[in-house]
Amino acid sequence: MKIQTSVKQKRAFYKTKRFKISLTGLVLGVIAIYIGICAYAASVFTTSATRDLGPNTPTTFGMPYEEITFKTSDSAQLTIRGWWIPRQNSQKTLIMVHSKDGTRTFLLPVSQRLWQQGFNILLFDTRGQGLSDGERYTFGWKEKYDVVGAVEFLKSKGFSPNHIGVVGWSMGAATALMAMAETPDIKAGLIESSYGSLDRVINEKYYPDSGMPILLYPGIKLMAKLMYDLDVDQSNPEVAITKLGERKVFLIHAEKDQEIPVSEFQILLKSGGANVAESWLVPGSKHVRSFQDYPDEYARRAVAFFNRELL
């Protein structure tokens, strides 16, 4: 009898207003915690680890330069800050696009080699990084408008689109590809260690490696879109590479890339088809270390590609 009474009491309690309020509070609390974690992760996910340029400038590498600014081509009209490194009597010009958690200084060593081979160089910090405006980066989705702004800057200096190329590393490579799809005024691109789909890399690489519960990703993705206007699905270079017309790219990827799987390189090769004029799977190298590991071969291949494409 006591057991039956206890069961009846429990059933009665589950029907009370107090229980329903408690259950609702618990559910709302769990949701609030989930949203809070996802919002925090989205903030970390879109914020640069450092914005410090450090001590190096083009002068450190023996190159003359001037400080420049230009506006992004989207409605945000952010101010982008960079360095213009002219090469006397040359029309061929390369826009250099750095990686996530980087600045314009990251590409100074390779810029020096290309400048020595007769190219004007435009280095700048993409939005939300270095000294440029903006609080956050968007994995290439909006940074492409920074690159288009750089193209407009070069055209205002009298450079022809037929002489303008782009070099991008990692997120900068994805940005460069998407910028090429955005404007016809970039003739050729050297694309190193780009992903084909940001969403796929996060799902197949970052989450399994991080040990973070996969159920958090939909929430982080949603909060990034709602709070910071970052649509992960729009960072899709494998689609951009199909929209280049007859323009050519040189795809480079490190054989032992620990950040962007080599499978992404293979996907871009397939998607690019005839637009891929040259490719190089760099033996033994890790993520964006191809130039450091093979500086002479890297410079030789890059110069040959751009001399051929930038008429």
Same domain, 264 and 214: no
Tokens at residue 36, please? 């809070």
Same domain, 217 and 272: no
Per-residue pLDDT tens over the stretch 127-160? 999 999 999 999 999 999 999 999 999 999 999 9
The three-state DSSP-derived secondary structure of 205-262 is HHHHHHCCCCCHHHHHHHHHHHHHCCCHHHCCHHHHHHHCCCCEEEEEEECCCCCCCH
Same domain, 214 and 297: no
Same domain, 163 and 273: yes
**Under-50 pLDDT residues of the chain:** 1-3, 5, 9-10, 13-14
Same domain, 283 and 253: yes
Is the whole-model pTM more than 0.95? no
Q: How many CB atoms lie within 10 A of CB 44?
A: 9
Same domain, 149 and 27: no
pLDDT of residue 151: 98
Same domain, 106 and 146: yes
| 231 vs 282: CA distance, rounded Å | 31
Q: What is the CATH number of the domain that holds 173?
A: 3.40.50.1820
198, 199, 204, 209 alpha-carbon torsion, rounded to 10°: 70
pLDDT of residue 89: 93
Same domain, 70 and 119: yes
Same domain, 281 and 136: yes
Beta partners for 248?
A: 188
Tokens at residue 17, please? 């207003």
DSSP for the chain, please give it.
-HHHHHHHHHHHHHTSHHHHHHHHHHHHHHHHHHHHHHHHHHHHHTS-S-----S--GGGGT---EEEEEE-SSTT-PEEEEEEE--TT---EEEEE--TT--GGGGHHHHHHHHHTT-EEEEEPPTTSTTSS-S---TTTTHHHHHHHHHHHHHHTT--GGGEEEEEETHHHHHHHHHHHH-TT--EEEEES--S-HHHHIIIIIHHHH---TTHHHHHHHHHHHHH---GGG--HHHHGGG-TT-EEEEEEETT-SSS-HHHHHHHHHHHGGGEEEEEEETT--TT-HHHHSHHHHHHHHHHHHHHH--
Chosen domain end from 232, 252, 285: 232
Q: How many CB atoms lie within 10 A of CB 32?
A: 10
pLDDT of residue 251: 98
Same domain, 104 and 218: no
Per-residue pLDDT tens over the stretch 165-180? 999 999 999 999 999 9
Which domain does 293 fall in, by range? Answer: 51-197+235-309
pLDDT of residue 229: 87
Chosen domain end from 182, 210, 232: 232
Same domain, 89 and 181: yes
Total domain count for the chain? 2
Cα 15 to the chain's mean position, in Å?
53
Chosen domain end from 213, 232, 251: 232
pLDDT of residue 18: 65
Q: Are 72 and 128 in contact (CB under 8 A)?
A: no
Same domain, 162 and 270: yes
